[in-house]
Amino acid sequence: MIYIQGFHHLLRRSSLQVRLTLHRTMATRTNATVTHLSKHLELHQYHPDTIDSGEPRPTVVFLPWMNATQAHANHYRELYAVRGFNVLTVWGSLSYFLWPQWAMPLATELADYLEMQTRGPLVVHSMSVGAYLYAVTLTLIADNPDKYGSLGSRVKGHVYDSIVIGTLEEMARGVSIIVAPKSAMLQQAIRRSCLLYFAATKQHTVVPYNRFIDVVHNSPFKTPKLCFHSYNDVLCLPEAMERMIHHWKDEYDLDITSKMWQNSPHASHLRTDPQTYNRLLNDFLKKVGLDNISLQLSSKL
């Protein structure tokens, strides 16, 4: 009972953090028309819907890390704004990880929006637990190929930055660090609670987790991928990341670019080494044919 009560408190706390994040506004250096499509989806339009040739403008689907603020998200949005993209930000909650069924409405909303409300090329940029939300969405898309058929030709590439990956024990440790980043004692208690919780809810948590991981490994979108991670990241274990990269290369012969820093905090590689991050992103967008897009920015950086 104590563990269940503790998880109820954790779920309420994470939901509150997301609500606060969604309603916090920060000025960007690049003007944008911001549309709050729902509590999950937020569209930043920096450019007209079409480029000079009349073709639909590409959109980045950005899934930030948990508890990211608008100020954090703006750094990544502007990476793409100055390269000619509009950005769709997907906000989630830690509760969606702890009870996967709660993530399905978000996954359905995102997949439906991409299929019915977008026309141009798509790039997915997911970070930390944001990659979990994308995995849930990928599973829905994989299970409904007729409904989401156009996405197969429009998703051009994936950027995976500091994604939470590893065993169940490692995921429990990751949750504990997210919830209590400054308290080793509380982290230990949360990790134990997570493992007990997973054992008690295996059919509703562990089984879906395994399916989500399998879908990421064998994604219906066989695109080039750009992966950022670091040797000292306890949430994105380098050996687990390397196993997935080798699987993509060996099984599907995918074009994978991987950068691993020796010492860079979780989800902070852009801040650690902005020059390398920008250079690799430029090379990646060139590789997928989205590096030469007319800007028509409403204001310059």
Q: If you write DSSP's letter for every residue of 111-155 in order, what string do you get? A: HHHHHHH--S-EEEEEETTHHHHHHHHHHHHHH-TTTTTTHHHHE
For the chain, what are the domain ranges?
2-287
What pLDDT is stored for residue 133 in this prediction? 97
Residue 96 identity (one-letter amino acid): Y
What pLDDT is stored for residue 25 in this prediction? 33
Phi and psi of 50, rounded to 5°?
-120, 155
End-to-end CA distance of the chain: 53
The Cα 149–Cα 147 span in angstroms is 6
Q: How far is CA 118 from CA 73, 240, 292, in A?
A: 21, 33, 20
Closest to 135 (Cα-Cα) out of 62, 228, 216, 205: 216
Handedness of CA 258, 264, 265, 269 (dihedral sign): negative
Q: How many CA atoms lie within 13 A of 152 on its CB side?
A: 10
What pLDDT is stored for residue 176 in this prediction? 87
CATH fold of 2-287: Rossmann fold (3.40.50)
Render pLDDT for 211-260 as a digit per residue (tens, 0 to 9): 999 999 999 999 999 999 999 988 898 989 999 999 999 999 999 999 99
Render pLDDT for 59-106 as a digit per residue (tens, 0 to 9): 999 999 988 999 999 999 999 999 999 999 999 998 998 899 999 999
Residue 10 identity (one-letter amino acid): L
Share of the chain above pLDDT 90, in %: 73
Render pLDDT for 52-63 as a digit per residue (tens, 0 to 9): 889 999 999 999
Verdict on whether the full-model pTM lies above 0.85: yes
